[in-house]
Amino acid sequence: MTENDPHAHDSAAGRQNPGAQPGTEGQAAWSQPTAPGASPAPASGEQPTYGEQPTYGEQPTYGEQAQQQNPGYATANPWSAQGAQTGPMGYNNPYPPTGGTTQQQYAAPGTYSVPPAPAPKKSGPGKLLAAVAAIALVIGGVAGGTVGYLTGGSSGPSVNALDQPKPAQQTGNAPAGSIESVAQKLSPSVVELQVSGRTAAGEGSGFVLSTDGYILTNNHVVEVAANGGQIQAVFQDGRKAAASVVGRDPTTDIAVVKVNNVSGLTPVELGRSDDLRVGQPVVAIGSPFELSGTVTSGIVSSLHRPVQAGGDETDQTTVMDAIQTDAAINPGNSGGPLANMNGQVIGINSAIYSPNSGQGGQGGQAQGGNVGIGFAIPIDQARRTANDIIKTGHATQTFIGAKVADAPQGGAQLGDITPGSPAEKAGLKSGDIVTKIDDRTIDSADTLIAAVRTRAPDEKATFTLSGGRTVQVTLGGQPVPAN
Residue 249, φ and ψ in degrees, nearest 5: -135, 100
- Kindly report the pTM of this predicted structure: 0.65
Rounded Cα–Cα distance for residues 376 and 144 (Å): 64
> In the 3-class helix/strand/coil scheme, how is the chain assigned residue by residue?
CECCCCCCCCCCCCCCCCCCCCCCCCCCCCCCCCCCCCCCCCCCCCCCCCCCCCCCCCCCCCCCCCCCCCCCCCCCCCEECCECCECCCCCECCCCCCCCCCCCCCCCCCCCCCCCCCCCCCCCHHHHHHHHHHHHHHHHHHHHHHHHHHHHCCCCCCCCHHHCCCCCCCCCCCCCCCHHHHHHHHHHHEEEEEEECCCCEEEEEEEECCCCCEEEECHHHHHHHCCCCEEEEECCCCCEEEEEEEEEECCCCEEEEEECCCCCCCCCEECCCCCCCCCCEEEEEECHHHCCCEEEEEEEEEEEEEEECCCCCCCCCCEEEEEEECCCCCCCCCCCEEECCCCEEEEEEEEECCCCCCCCCHHHCCCCCCCCCEEEEEHHHHHHHHHHHHHHCCCEEEECCEEEEECCCCCEEEEEECCCCHHHHHCCCCCCEEEEECCEECCCHHHHHHHHHCCCCCCEEEEEECCCCEEEEECEEEECCCC
Q: Active-site residue numbers?
A: 220, 253, 334
As a whole number of angstroms, the distance between CA 133 and CA 374 comes to: 59
Print pLDDT tens along the chain (483 aa): 445 444 444 433 333 343 444 343 333 333 334 444 444 444 444 444 433 343 333 444 333 343 444 444 444 444 444 444 434 333 444 444 444 443 333 333 333 333 333 444 444 444 433 333 333 333 344 444 444 444 455 567 899 999 999 988 888 788 888 999 999 999 999 999 999 988 888 889 999 999 999 999 999 999 888 888 899 999 998 899 999 999 998 888 999 999 988 888 999 999 999 999 999 999 999 998 888 889 999 999 999 998 876 544 434 366 788 999 999 998 889 999 999 999 999 999 998 886 754 433 333 334 567 788 999 999 999 999 999 999 998 889 899 999 999 999 999 999 999 999 999 999 999 999 999 999 999 999 999 999 998 899 999 999 999 989 999 999 999 888 755
User: What's the rounded Cα separation, in Å, for the pair 28 and 405?
Assistant: 12
Give the pLDDT confidence score for residue 309 in this predicted structure.
63
For residue 32, the model assigns a pLDDT of: 38
In this structure, are residues 211 and 263 in contact, taking their beta carbons and an 8 Å threshold? yes
Instruction: Name the residue type at position 51.
Output: G
What pLDDT sits at residue 371? 85
Structure confidence by residue, pLDDT tens digits, 373-416: 999 999 999 999 999 999 998 889 899 999 999 999 999 999 99
Give the pLDDT confidence score for residue 308 in this predicted structure. Answer: 78
Give CA separation, 7 vs 4, 90, 115, 165, in Å: 9, 19, 57, 66
Beta pairing class for 190-196 and 201-208: antiparallel
pLDDT of residue 173: 83
Q: What pLDDT does 186 receive?
A: 95
Q: Is the peptide bond before 481 cis (omega within 30 degrees of 0)?
A: no
Q: Count Cβ neighbours within 10 Å for each residue of 132-163 and write b for 16 or more, e otherwise.
A: eeeeeeeeeeeeeeeeeeeeeeeeeeeeeeee
